[in-house]
Amino acid sequence: MDRILRGIMKYRHTDRKTMVAQFEKVRDHPEPKAVFFTCMDSRMIPTRFTETNVGDMFVVRNAGNLIPHSQHFLDEITTTEPAALELGCIVNDIRHIIVCGHSDCKAMNLLHALRDEQFSSQENRRISPLRAWLCAHASSSLDKYSQLEAAGFHAPLTFQAETPMRRFVAYIDPEDRFAVSDKLSQINCLQQLQNIASYGFLKRRLERHQLHIHALWFDIYTGNIYYFSRQGKRFVEISEDTIKQLLLEVKTYYS
């Protein structure tokens, strides 16, 4: 708390005036362009690595950047994530949803360990909210990982996209550069796109191409950021060599 309080005092003397001016500018007409789901990991600072600012996007964070599938909820039971989707995409008419996973994700490391039946037992889940959260809402990602593992990590995976008839294929880490838990993290990131598309209140917008879903993946130890290219069927590093092609794909695919 000492560090936080001293940080607030520094903000008062350096950045407060500028930020208040930005708040005033967007107060009556904020126009956020994306709902950004990412992990709560302290190393993930999405506004910094996307160079976004006040009013640019809604940011939702949790353990493992999960968006629970709609099948988990009765009418009277829900969580923050679908509420954020409705607030962002329906109430505020935001047209882009981004899910961003990352390397060395502690939630994904734990999810990988949950393949052990004893570790993921009902008794252990009762004493661990994190295990219960992952078992309830990330088991589909683990199932996809098991498919990849059974195929020797070389076969493509298929994910449902915006509509039941619209699917995409993904090759996960074809160069075999990342740890197995990072492969799981990339799979989990793509699985969330499928989960997002399960919500009925988004159905019409997705069908009419008025709402678009994207996946990013952040490599903590290199600072490199990857965009999932449906055209390339893989996560592609965003760099000087790829940016033109990625921008063209986004313009063509999501126009």
The CATH number for 218's domain is 3.40.1050.10
Are residue 164 and residue 189 in the same domain, yes or no? Answer: yes
Structure tokens at 71: 């099948």
At 117 the pLDDT is 75
Domain that holds residue 1: 1-29
Q: How many domains does the chain fold into?
A: 2
The answer to whether position 93 is within a domain reads: yes
CA 6 to chain centre: 32
Residue 107 domain-assigned? Answer: yes
Say yes or no: 177 and 191 in one domain.
yes
Distance of alpha carbon 57 from alpha carbon 42, whole angstroms: 19
* CA 115 to centroid of chain Cα atoms: 22
Q: Are residues 57 and 105 in the same domain?
A: yes
Task: From first to last of the 255 residues of the chain, give the pLDDT tens digit.
Answer: 999 999 999 999 999 999 899 898 888 778 899 999 999 999 999 999 999 999 999 999 999 999 999 987 666 567 899 999 999 999 999 999 999 999 999 999 999 998 877 766 777 667 889 988 998 899 999 999 999 999 999 999 999 988 878 899 999 999 999 999 999 999 999 999 999 999 999 999 999 999 999 999 999 999 999 999 999 999 999 999 999 999 999 988 776
Position 77 scores a pLDDT of 65
Q: Identify whether residues 96 and 5 lie together within a single domain.
A: no
pLDDT (0 to 100) of residue 26: 85
Tell me the CA distances in angstroms from 131 to 100, 139, 156, one per residue in order.
21, 11, 28
Do residues 64 and 88 share a domain? Answer: yes
What pLDDT is attached to residue 120?
A: 66
Q: 233: phi > 0 → left, psi -120 to 50 → alpha, else beta; which?
A: left
Whether residues 66 and 83 share a domain: the answer is: yes
The answer on 8 and 101 residing in a single domain is no
**Co-location of 82 and 177 in the same domain:** yes
Residues 98 and 7 in one domain: no
Residues 247 and 182 in one domain: yes
User: Residue 128 domain-assigned?
Assistant: no
What is the reported pLDDT for 76?
Answer: 57
Structure tokens at 97: 């949803």
Contact 204, 197 (CB under 8 A): no
Is 23 found in the same domain as 36?
A: no
Domain identity same for 10 and 88? no
pLDDT (0 to 100) of residue 104 = 97
Q: What is the residue whose two structure tokens read 């493509």? A: 156
